[in-house]
């Protein structure tokens, strides 16, 4: 008896995983982390109104969620000043990226991203057989002009660009992006991942007509809205592209309580302001803690800070391991020269107390 016959594409895929989760690391080390500031989660949590809405919705969890996410989609359209037909709600940006890659990438199709940018995008491109080209960062930022030029050379179907960027926290101001839009090649779709944009300065998100067929914007309730575990993201794009998702998406895939939570979170502007303020405080303190250790923190338009450990990737990996051994979960960029840094998420004062205690020790151990 043999097992199933996988597709040739699946048989060729490695069994790699984009990220090892903190729970897995905690089980491996045999103890919980003191500070969970590695996955760019929002430790300040969602609006209390969102929590209350989710808790109330559990009483009706026997019902499937609305397959059209009607209420949330309409609220998002009002929020962004577009039509509901320009909004697609999905299972986090990860889920939406999977659908999007499936819609446009056939085996061998060219796709362009930055070397060291979001690995889950790369995972989906590989999973559908795309030919991924990775361009280096420039001055610790994704190089949009170079990405678009390479897309033209390769006749790429997708270009991935995160603004603000993860893992470095850098951003490109909207004027600079808008000036480059006309360099999007014919037939290429720019995937503008704005997961962190609510943390960025006002003039970060570019002004792009919602019906512009060259761009899809991705947003999420996982970061500024503090609902990573709920799995709610959304895409903003021209109506024909939004409609195309209906051909492949899991129509009844949304958690009903998460839909209710996102709707409530969207309406609590005060909480979003509170979170932004807390995150700004935390970024400031991470920068100060790093400086106290003689390290330079990079400027950040997100809820995390990349801290330059001053040597190479091997050294930063040792610092990371030593922090982990001291109960502080952080992550780091995968690719040189950005891997000279560790990436620290905005934590609570208690989280950052743990960081302040552990970082000098970790640096000493890594050096010694």
Q: What's the closest the beta carbon of residue 231 comes to a second copy, in angstroms? A: 5
Q: Following DSSP, what letter does each residue of 50-79 receive, concatenated?
A: HHHHHHHHGGGTTSPPPTT-HHHHHHHHHH
Name the one range near a second copy by CB under 8 A: 75-83, 135-143, 212-220, 328-336: 212-220
Name the one range near a second copy by CB under 8 A: 58-66, 76-84, 322-330, 349-357: 58-66
Name the one range near a second copy by CB under 8 A: 142-150, 186-194, 285-293, 320-328: 186-194
**3-state DSSP of 341-358:** EEEEECCCHHHHHHHHHH
Give SS3 for 155. coil
Name the one range near a second copy by CB under 8 A: 54-62, 199-207, 266-274, 350-358: 54-62
Give SS3 for 141. strand
If the CB atoms of residues 54 and 305 are measured against a second copy, the closer one turns out to be 54
Residue choice 33, 35, 37, 46 for contact with a second copy (CB under 8 A): 46
Residue 231 makes contact with a second copy by CB under 8 A: yes
Give SS3 for 230. helix
Contact 156, 111 (CB under 8 A): yes
Contact 200, 149 (CB under 8 A): no
Among 337, 317, 330, which Cα is nearest to 358's? 330
Name the one range near a second copy by CB under 8 A: 239-247, 282-290, 291-299, 320-328: 239-247
Q: What's the closest the beta carbon of residue 288 comes to a second copy, in angstroms? A: 24
Q: What's the closest the beta carbon of residue 174 comes to a second copy, in angstroms? A: 20
Q: Point out which residues pair with 341 in neighbouring strands.
A: 308
Rg of the chain in Å (alpha carbons): 21
| Site string (77-116) toward a second copy, x via CB under 8 A | --------------xx-xx--x---xxxxx--x-------
| Site string (268-297) toward a second copy, x via CB under 8 A | ------------------------------
If the CB atoms of residues 60 and 175 are measured against a second copy, the closer one turns out to be 60
For residue 365, what are its two tokens? 């151990």
Contact 141, 174 (CB under 8 A): no
Q: What's the closest the beta carbon of residue 135 comes to a second copy, in angstroms? A: 21
Sequence-ordered strand ranges (E) for the chain: 35-36, 87-90, 110-114, 131-135, 158-162, 189-193, 215-220, 233-236, 296-297, 304-308, 328-329, 341-345
Residue choice 148, 149, 172, 238 for contact with a second copy (CB under 8 A): 238
Count Cβ atoms within 10 A of the Cβ of residue 106 and give its class: 0-12 exposed, 13-18 middle, 19 or more buried.
exposed
If the CB atoms of residues 2 and 139 are measured against a second copy, the closer one turns out to be 2
What part of residues 16-45 is at the interface with a second copy (CB under 8 A)?
17-24, 27, 36, 39, 41-45
What part of residues 248-267 is at the interface with a second copy (CB under 8 A)?
248, 250-258, 261
Determine the size of the site formed for a second copy (CB under 8 A): 93
Number of other residues whose CB lies within 10 A of the CB of residue 353:
15
Q: What's the closest the beta carbon of residue 239 comes to a second copy, in angstroms? A: 10
Q: What's the closest the beta carbon of residue 86 comes to a second copy, in angstroms? A: 13
Q: What's the closest the beta carbon of residue 39 comes to a second copy, in angstroms? A: 6
If the CB atoms of residues 12 and 296 are measured against a second copy, the closer one turns out to be 12
223 backbone φψ class: left, alpha, beta (φ>0; ψ -120 to 50) = alpha
Residue 197 makes contact with a second copy by CB under 8 A: no
What DSSP designation does 95 have? H
Residue choice 213, 270, 292, 349 for contact with a second copy (CB under 8 A): 213
């Amino acid at each position: 008896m043999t097992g199933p016959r996988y597709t040739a594409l699946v048989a060729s895929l490695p069994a790699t995983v984009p990220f090892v989760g903190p729970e897995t690391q905690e089980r491996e080390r045999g103890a919980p982390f003191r500070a969970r500031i590695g996955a760019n989660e929002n430790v300040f949590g969602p609006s209390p109104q969102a929590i209350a809405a989710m808790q109330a919705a559990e009483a009706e969890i026997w019902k499937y969620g609305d397959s059209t996410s009607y209420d949330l989609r309409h609220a998002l359209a009002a929020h962004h000043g577009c039509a509901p037909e320009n909004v697609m709600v999905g299972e986090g940006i990860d889920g939406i990226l999977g659908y999007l890659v499936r819609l446009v990438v056939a085996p061998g199709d060219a796709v362009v991203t930055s070397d060291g940018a979001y690995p889950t995008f790369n995972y989906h491109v590989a999973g559908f057989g795309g030919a991924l080209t990775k361009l280096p960062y420039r001055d610790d930022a994704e190089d949009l002009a170079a990405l678009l030029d390479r897309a033209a050379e390769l006749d790429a179907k997708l270009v991935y660009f995160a603004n603000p960027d993860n893992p470095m926290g850098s951003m490109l101001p909207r004027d600079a992006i808008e000036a480059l839009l006309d360099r999007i090649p014919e037939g290429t779709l720019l995937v503008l991942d704005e997961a962190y944009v609510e943390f960025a300065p006002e003039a970060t998100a570019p002004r792009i007509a919602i019906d512009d067929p060259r761009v899809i914007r991705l947003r999420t309730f996982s970061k500024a809205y503090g609902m990573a575990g709920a799995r709610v993201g959304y895409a903003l794009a021209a109506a024909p592209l939004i409609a195309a998702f209906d051909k492949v998406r899991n129509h009844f895939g949304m958690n009903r309580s998460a839909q209710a939570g996102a709707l409530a979170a969207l309406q609590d502007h005060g909480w979003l302001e509170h979170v932004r303020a807390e995150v700004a405080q935390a970024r400031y303190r991470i920068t100060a803690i790093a400086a106290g250790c003689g390290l330079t923190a990079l400027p950040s338009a997100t809820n995390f800070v990349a801290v330059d450990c001053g040597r190479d990737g091997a050294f930063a990996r040792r610092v990371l391991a030593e922090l982990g051994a001291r109960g502080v979960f952080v992550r780091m960029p995968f690719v040189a020269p950005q891997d000279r840094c560790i990436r620290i998420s905005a934590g609570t004062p208690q989280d950052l107390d743990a960081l302040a205690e552990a970082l000098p020790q970790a640096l000493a151990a890594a050096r010694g």
